[in-house]
Chain A
Amino acid sequence: MERNLHAYSLIKTLFILIALATAACHREVALPPLPLSNITLTDKFFDVWPTSPTRAFVVGDRGKVLLTEDGGRHFKRIDIGTQLGVFAIQMADDQNGYLCGQDGLVMRTRDGGKSWERLNSRTNLFIFGLSFPDALHGFFVGDRALVLSTTNGGESFTKRQLQRLFPQELSDYALPYEEPVLYSASFLDVDHGWVVGELGRIWATENGGKSWQEQQQPLVAQWKRPLGPGDDARFADFILPTLFSVSFRDQKHGAACGLEGWVVQTDDGGKTWQFAHQSDKPGAAPDTLVPGAAQIPARDPLFSIDLFAGDQGITTGLTGTVLRLQPNGAWAHDPSVPAIPFPLSQVRFFDAQHGWIVGYGTILYTEDGGKTWRQCQG
C-alpha cells in the first residue's frame, strides 16, 4: 500500500514536470492591437484648409480626412465613409464645406466638418480642385477639362468641358490637345475666377462661369522652346508647361505654378502673364533663364502656390521643393523648411503667420510666417 502511494507520488511529480514544460514551451505568440497613427510615411496628403490659426483640415489618399484644433499637435480622423482619394477641401464658412476627389467624389458638410454627405456629381472623372467664394456658389475642376459648378450649395451641378474647340479640319491632329486636365481653380467672388491645367491652359471668367476666356496666349510668345520635328506649328501654344495650381490675392494679382518649376504671374487680372525667375537663395539675384530653354538639371515640378498677406507668396513641389516670393519678384529656395525629399502637394496660409504644408507622409506647420516649421507627428 505504502509502495503504491510512493509510486503514485512519483508519477504525479513526473506529470507536473511534463505539464510545466509543455505550458512553458508552447505559448501562442501575442497579437497586440496595432498602433493607429494618423500620420505615417506612406500617407499621401493632397490638400490642407485652415479655418483658424490653429485649426485645419487635411485630406489625402484612401479617404483620409484629419482635423487638428491645436496647431497640429493632435489630429482626429474623420470617417467620411469612403476609401477614395480626397484631392481638395475647402470650408466656405464655419459650418459649410466641400471636398472632392477620385472617381467624381464630391462631399459636403453642414456641421463644420463633423459629418460629410456625398453629393451626386454625375461624373466618375477625377476632380482635382475646387473653389467656393461663398457657401452656395462653387466650382470644381478635373480630368478631361471638366468644370462643375453649383449655385445652390451642391444640390445640383452644371457640368461643362472647358477646352478649345478646334475646326473640323484639325480634329484628327488635335486629339492630343483635346480635353486637357484642369487641376486648380481660384475664385475671388461669385463672378471672378481662374482655372489652370494641362499644357499650360489658363481660363478666366468674369461672370460666374457663364463664359470663359483663354489667357495663356501672352506666355506663348515668351516660351522659346523650338518646335520639335514632330510638333505641329498649328498647335504651338500647346507646348507650354502644365500648370498645377493657381492663386489670386485680388482681382489683379495672381500666380500659377507647374511643370519644370515654372511660376507665371499677372498684375492685371490675367490680361498679361509672365514667367517669373528663380534665385538660389533669398536675396540672391534672379536667374537669367529663358523660358522654354532646356534646363540641366531639370527643375522639380511645382504643385501648389499660395499668395497671401498682401505681398507674400509661397510654392511647393516635388522632392521637398519650397520657394518663397522675394521683394524683387523672383522666387527663391526657402532654407527654413526642413529638407524633406518627398512631394509636397499643397501649401496654404491662414494669415501672415500661420500656415501649413502637406505632402507624402508630411504635415508641416508654422506660426511665425514660415521662419520655422514644425513637423506634425499625428
Chain B
Amino acid sequence: MTWYRFGEWILRWRFIVLAVVGVLTAFFGYFAAQTQLVTSFGELLPQNHPFIKVAHKYDQYFGSVNNVTIMIEVKEGTIYTPAIIGKIVQMTRDMDLVYGIQHGSVRSVATSSYFRPLAGGVILNTPVLPNGDIPKTAGELEELESNVHKNPGVIFGRFVSLDDKAAVIEGSFLETRLDYTRIFDEIRRIVVEPERDASVHIYYGGQPILYGWVYHYTPEFLWIFVATVLAVWMLLYLYFSDWRGALRPTISGVICAIWGLGFIRLLGFGLDPLVLVIPFLITARAVSHSVQMHDRYYEEFYRLRDKERAILSSFSELFVPSLSGILADAFGVLIILLVPVLFLQRLAITASFWIAAIIVSELILNPIVYYYLDPPRIDVIERREHGWFKRLLQSIAKPMLERSGRIATFAATIVVIALCAFFWTGLKVGDPSSESPILWPNSPYNRSMAAIQSEFGAIEQFVVVAELGRRDSLNDPKLYHVMDEYERYMERDPAVGRTFSVADLLSNGGSALREFQPKWNVLPTTTRGTGQLLGGLLAGASPLSTAYIITPRRDATQMTVYSKDREGENVQRIVLRTQRFFDDPRHHVPGVTFSLAAGIIGELAAANQEIIDNDLLLNVLAFATIYIIILITYRSFMAGLYLLFPLALANAAINAFMGAHNIGININTLPVVTVGVGFGIDYSIYIVSRIIEGLALGGDLKGSTYTALITSGKAVAFTALTLVASVLFWYWSSIRFDAEMGLLLAVWMFVSMLGAMTILPVLIVTFDPAFIRREKERAVASRRPDLESHTLAAFS
C-alpha cells in the first residue's frame, strides 16, 4: 500500500520530480562530458603496504617500475659494425629526449666504462666508447668487442647479449610525469622508428609501454560500444516486439551512466580503460532492472487494461525487490572500501554511487516515463506472452518442479559444485603465465617482451634494500657476504634469471683494479679491504651516477633479483624465500635492515599479498551485506541463505572459470571480480517476490513458483542472455584483459541466472520455507482489491 501511494505521489508531482532529475542529470552531464581515460599503475597498489613504502622511499634510485627497455637485435652477424653501434649510440641519446625521462637513468653499452690495465701498474677507467665516438676500423670494432667481453655481468650479458647479437638501452621515467600516451608515442617516434631498417629488429617493453599500448587500443572501445548497444536494442525489440521495450531500458541505462560518469569526474577521477567493463556491467544492471519493470508493466496493463493503474501496480509490486536488489549491489560494492588500495577505494565509491543512481533512473523515473508513453497494443503484449521463449521456459519449468525434476536439479547442482571445487584449485593469485595478461599473447608488446627475455634472460626486478643505520655499515664486509650469499641462494630458484648487487661490483672491482686477475675477484673480509674497494668503485664518480647501487647519502644499497616473469606463484615464492633468508639470524648484519621490496615484482607481491589478505574478507563482508539487506527485505534469517545459494554458486563458478581459463586474481582482475560479487542477487529477489505474490493471490507453492519462473523468470533469463550476447563484442578488443573480463562477467550473469531459475525454486518448493508463508500473509494484508480485476490465471 505504501509503495502504491508513493507511486501516486511521483505521478502527481511529476513535473517537480522531472525538473529535479533533469537539473541533476544536466549537472552530472556537464561533468560527464569531461570524462577522461586515465590509468595509473601506482593507484592499483596498496600504499600502506610495507613493500610499497620501501619502493616509494627508494624508487628514485632502485627498482623503478617505470622502466623502459629497448632492444636492438641484428638480423645477421653481431652488433659490432659501425652502423649498428651508431644506432645504439643514437638511440641512447634520443632516449634522453623523451618526455618524463629521469636524466641520468639512460644506460646502454654506449654509456658504460671499464677498467683498462696497462703494463707498469697503470689502470685507466675508460668509456667503452670514448667520447661516444663510433668505432670505424675493424681493429676498433674488435677492441670494442674485447672490452665488452672483459666485463661479464656489468656490460656483457647486461647491455650486450651473450651471443653479441643484441643490445639494450634502458631508462626510467619520473612518476610525477607519467604521460603514458606521450611517452609511448615519443619512444616510437623519436627513438625507435628512425633507427628501424631491414638490418635490425627493434623491441621495446616496460610498464609505460604496456599502458601506452592500452591507450593506443582505446579507440576500439567506441566500436565495441556501438555494436553492443545495437545488439541490445535488437534483442530488446525482438523480446518486446515494441520499440518502447528497447527505449525504456536505454533511457534507464543512459541516465544512470550520465550520473555515474559525472560523479567520477566531479570527484576528480578518471575512467580506467582497463576496467571499462565495469561501467558496462553497471549499465547492464540498469537495463536488467528496467526489463523486469517493463515486462511487469505490460503484464499489469494486460491484466488491468488501464495505463495509470498498470503503472502504479507494477511500481508498487516491484519497488521492494528492485530497491533491495539495487541496494544489495551498491552496498556489496561499497565493501571494497576496506581494501587499502586507492584505486579500489575510488572504485567502491564511484561504482556504488553509479549503481545507486539506478534507483533514480529506474525506480523514480519509471512511472513518469510510462505516463508519457502511449500504452502498448494488446496484440503486442499477447505476441510477447506466447512467443517461443516463454514456451521454452514453460517446457523446462514444469518438469523441473516435479519430484523427479527436483532430484535431477539437486544432482546437477552437486555435480556443478564438485566441478567448481575441482577447477577452483587452478585459480592463481597474480599473473598465471609469463606474458602480460593485459594484452594477447601475440600482441606486439608480448612478442617484444618475449624477445627481450630470450636474449637477456630476465628483466623483472625484485629489489631488496639494505638500509644502513650506521655510517660504518657500508664498510662492513659481512654486509657484502650476506648480499652475495642471498644472490647465490636466489639464483637457484628456477624463476630467477640473474641477480645483481654492489657485492658483485665490489668483487669485480677487486679484479679490475688488479689487472683483471680472477683471483682478486673475491669479496674482502676486512673493513679496510672493503673500504678500499668501495673507494675504488665510488671515487671519481658523481653520487648520482652510482645511485643505482648506493644512494647519494650513502644510507642504503640494494640487491636486485631479476625474475623471468610475473607469475603469481613465482612472485610469492621469491618473496617467501627472501623473507626466510633474512629472518635467519646468521644473515643479520649489525646496523643494517634488509627491507622488502622495490621493483615491479616487489610491488606486485604487495598487491598480491593484499589480495590474499582481503579476498576472503571481502567476499564474506559482501555476502554479509547482501544477507542483511535480504534479512530486512523478507524479515527472515533463512531467506538470506536461500537467496545467497545461487549467488555463492555463481561465485564458485566464476572462480572455477578463472582457474580453468588461466585467469589469475591480480590487481587488474580484482576490481572486476569484487564489483561483481553481489551482482545477480536481484534475479533471486525478483523470483522469490513473485512467488510470494502468487501465494498472496491464492495460488499454491508449486503453482506460484511455476508462474514466477515464466513471468519474472522470463525477464531474468532474457536479461542474462542479452548480457551474454552483448559482451561477445568485447572479444574483438585488442586488449585481452577487457575481452576476458567481459566473458567472465557474461559467465557470471549466466550462472547467477541459472541458479536463480533452477536450484532456488527447487529449494523453495522442496523445503517450503516459513519466510515465504509469512511474507504471503503480509502481502495479503496489504492487497488493493481495485488492482485485482483480473486473475493471475490469465498469465499462466
Contacts and interface: CB of A to CB of B under 8 A. Distances in A.
Contacts of B619: 21
A29 B641 contact: no
Interface string A262-303: 000000000000000000000000000000100011101101
Interface in A1-32: 3, 6-7, 10-11, 13-14, 17-18, 20-22, 24-27, 29-31
A20 B615 CA distance: 15
A296 B143 contact: yes
A148 B572 CA distance: 52
Given A6-B767, A199-B120, A36 B572 contact: no
Interface string B479-513: 00100100111011110000000000000000000
Contacts of B417: 17, 20
Contact of A260 (B119, B491, B517): B119
A40 B576 CA distance: 23
19 contacts: A3-B769, A10-B642, A10-B767, A17-B417, A17-B652, A24-B427, A36-B492, A37-B492, A40-B488, A84-B525, A103-B525, A240-B119, A242-B121, A259-B119, A297-B140, A303-B518, A318-B516, A319-B149, A359-B518
A67 B632 CA distance: 77
A11 B641 contact: yes
B304 to A, nearest CB: 37
Interface in B536-583: 569, 572-573, 576-577, 580
Interface stretch (B277-285, B433-441, B643-651): B643-651
Contacts of A10: 638, 641-642, 645, 763, 767
Interface stretch (A89-97, A205-213, A338-346, A368-376): A338-346
B346 interface: no
Contacts of B488: 40, 42, 62
B706 interface: no
B616 interface: yes
B120 A238 contact: yes
B34 interface: no
A122 interface: no
Contacts of A183: 517, 519
B175 interface: no
Given A25-B424, A341-B149, A242 B119 contact: yes
Interface in B135-152: 139-140, 142-143, 146, 149-150, 152
Contacts of B427: 24-25
Given A83-B481, A345-B519, A225 B119 contact: yes
A132 interface: no
A231 B648 CA distance: 86
B80 to A, nearest CB: 11
B633 interface: no
B111 interface: no
Contacts of B615: 25-26
A46 interface: yes
Nearest to B648: A17
Interface string B721-748: 0000000000000000000000000000
Contacts of A343: 516, 518
Contacts of A297: 139-140, 142-143, 146
A360 interface: yes
A87 interface: yes
A172 to B, nearest CB: 17
B433 to A, nearest CB: 16
A241 interface: yes
A27 B139 CA distance: 59
Interface string B245-259: 000000000000000
A257 B476 CA distance: 36
B137 to A, nearest CB: 9
A34 B612 contact: no
B517 A14 contact: no
B212 to A, nearest CB: 32
Given A10-B767, A21-B424, A21-B652, A31 B517 contact: no
Contacts of A17: 417, 648-649, 652
Contacts of B421: 20-21, 24
Nearest to A358: B518
B522 interface: yes
A14 B641 contact: yes
B162 interface: yes
A198 interface: yes
Contacts of A30: 573
B517 A40 contact: no
Contacts of A315: none
Nearest to A37: B492
Contacts of B150: 300, 318-319
A44 interface: yes
A102 B525 contact: yes
Interface in B405-436: 417, 420-421, 424-425, 427
Interface of A: 3, 6-7, 10-11, 13-14, 17-18, 20-22, 24-27, 29-31, 34-37, 40, 42, 44, 46, 61-62, 83-85, 87, 102-103, 124, 126, 128, 176, 181, 183, 198-200, 225, 231, 238-242, 244, 259-260, 292, 296-298, 300-301, 303, 318-320, 341-343, 345, 359-360
B576 A42 contact: no
B201 interface: no
B655 interface: yes
B515 interface: yes
Contact of B573 (A29, A240, A292, A303): A29
B119 A46 contact: no
A300 B146 contact: yes
A17 B418 CA distance: 9
B499 to A, nearest CB: 8
A313 B520 CA distance: 25
A216 B96 CA distance: 52
A241 B119 contact: yes
A153 B83 CA distance: 61
Contacts of A40: 488, 491-492
B156 interface: yes
B127 interface: no
A24 B520 CA distance: 52
Given A183-B517, A225-B119, A297-B142, A25 B641 contact: no
A85 B644 CA distance: 66
Contact of A341 (B116, B156, B515, B770): B156
Nearest to B529: A103
B616 A26 contact: yes
Contact of B655 (A13, A24, A85): A24
Contact of B644 (A14, A181, A298): A14
B612 to A, nearest CB: 7
B519 A29 contact: no
A34 B486 CA distance: 13
B207 interface: no
B150 to A, nearest CB: 6
